[in-house]
Amino acid sequence: MKGAQEREYTNYFKIYGYDEKEIADKLEAIYHTFFYGSEEERIYHEFGDDMGYVVDTGNNDVRTEGMSYAMMMCVQHNMKEEFDRLWKWVKTYMWLEDGWNKGYFAWSVLPTGEKISDGPAPDGEEYFAMALFFAAHRWGDGEGIFAYTKEARELLHECVHKGEDGIGQPMWHPDNKLIKFVPGLPFTDPSYHLPHFYELFAMWADEEDRQFWADAAQASREFLKKACHGETGFAAEYTEYDGTPRHQEGHGNYYSDAYRVVANIGLDNEWAGPFEWNKECASKVQNFFKAKEGTPYKVYTIDGEELEEEALHPIAIIATNAMGTLASRDAGGEYWVKKFWETPLRKGERRYYDNCLYIFAFLALSGNYRIW
């Protein structure tokens, strides 16, 4: 995998006719709204003199998902102060210092800092580690918790080796090398699979674990081929390790978590590809939703059957389909890039999830979601 200085990043907005200054100005406005907009707009809040958090506005809590996403947003946009504020909040209020999950982070915490959960969600840990490595490479390592490389490596060590002493469970299954939904349960979430991250972990994690991460990247790519439906490209929210939708928890359909899969496939293609399968799968998802133009997005089975319930996060569907253009490219991208450009940030209490994915999509499509 090429590094940031060697790889070229495509600006799809420019390709499809938008002015470079207009693109840059729009990105700045999006970030300002997310971090420093009005109370009705922003997600980020400063906390004390040197901390900050992002709130899930639909659930009124702070999640490792959102905190790790925001840290990635900050390192991509050269926002070191906000990055450090977020990371200090995470280490102060989310860090699990003892017990079965020692070394991980509580996935849900109140904005006051009181833990709601005593367990982790692995998507947070993988984004924390990646954002920390990027911070080290972009800004240099600091002291204490701001020794970013050390923090990232220690976290990934826990993710792989936890449980070897009989206490706790690893976040990746040691045999099939697939990420778990949570450490103690034997199934997975396809949207957690980030092989483009794992290839970088294979370069930067503890030397003893680098082959594990290289194997994990390959395992996740093969898993996604099984999990994504051959006609629609859809994966379920939760699946068995063989890719079969897991209906027991009510998450066997193409619903909120699952929207991220096409975006991840796009970024994997941009950072580590090109891959023909990524192009084919992203195009299928884009074409399915293009055919729904003019009708409300619904919940769907992975084979495309429309269910009665409307999608909870319609802006997220538009954003992730647009980000899939990094894989589909000319096969179906122009429609989605232009539709996304014309779609504003979401407002209201459910804006958190949609707008997180919106920022990632805008970064990616403007050539600013980069390996550092």
Given this model, what pLDDT does residue 133 score?
98
Enumerate long-range contacts of 22-29, CB under 8 Å, 24 or more apart. Answer: 23/366, 24/366, 26/362, 27/77, 27/362, 27/363, 27/366, 27/368
Question: What is the tens place of the pLDDT at every residue in 305-360?
Answer: 999 999 999 999 999 999 999 999 876 789 999 999 999 999 999 999 999 999 99
Q: What is the mean pLDDT of residues 77-91?
A: 98
* Distances in whole angstroms, Cα of residue 301 to Cα of each of 193, 280, 308: 20, 19, 11
**Percentage of the chain exceeding pLDDT 70:** 98
Contact in structure between 288 and 316 (CB atoms under 8 Å)? no
- In whole angstroms, what is the distance from residue 44 CA to residue 67 CA? 9
Question: What is the tens place of the pLDDT at every residue in 27-47?
Answer: 999 999 999 999 999 999 999
Given this model, what pLDDT does residue 249 score?
74
- In whole angstroms, what is the distance from residue 74 CA to residue 46 CA? 14
**In degrees rounded to 5, what are phi and psi of residue 298?**
-120, -175
Q: What is the mean pLDDT of residues 53-78?
A: 98
Which residue has tokens 């702070």?
A: 62
Joined together, the tokens standing for residue 158 give 């826990």
Joined together, the tokens standing for residue 94 give 């989310």
How confident is the prediction for the chain on average, in pLDDT? 96
What is the pTM assigned to this prediction? 0.97
Q: What is the mean pLDDT of residues 287-294?
A: 96
- In whole angstroms, what is the distance from residue 109 CA to residue 63 CA? 6
Residue 14: its H or E element: helix 12-15
- In whole angstroms, what is the distance from residue 27 CA to residue 368 CA? 10
Residues 6+ apart with CB under 8 A from 62: 53, 54, 55, 56, 89, 93, 94, 108, 109, 110, 111
Catalytic sites, residue numbers:
65, 257
Residue 3 has pLDDT above 80, yes or no: no
Which residue has tokens 């957690």?
A: 192
Residue 13 has pLDDT above 80, yes or no: yes
Instruction: Considering the domain delimited by 1-26+223-372, tell me its CATH architecture.
Output: Alpha/alpha barrel (1.50)
HEC readout, 148-207: HHHHHHHHHHHHHHCCCCCCCCCCECCCCCCECCCCCCCCECHHHCCHHHHHHHHHHCCH
- In whole angstroms, what is the distance from residue 63 CA to residue 193 CA? 19
Question: What is the tens place of the pLDDT at every residue in 157-213?
Answer: 999 999 999 999 999 999 999 999 999 999 999 999 999 999 999 999 999 999 999
Joined together, the tokens standing for residue 44 give 């980020």
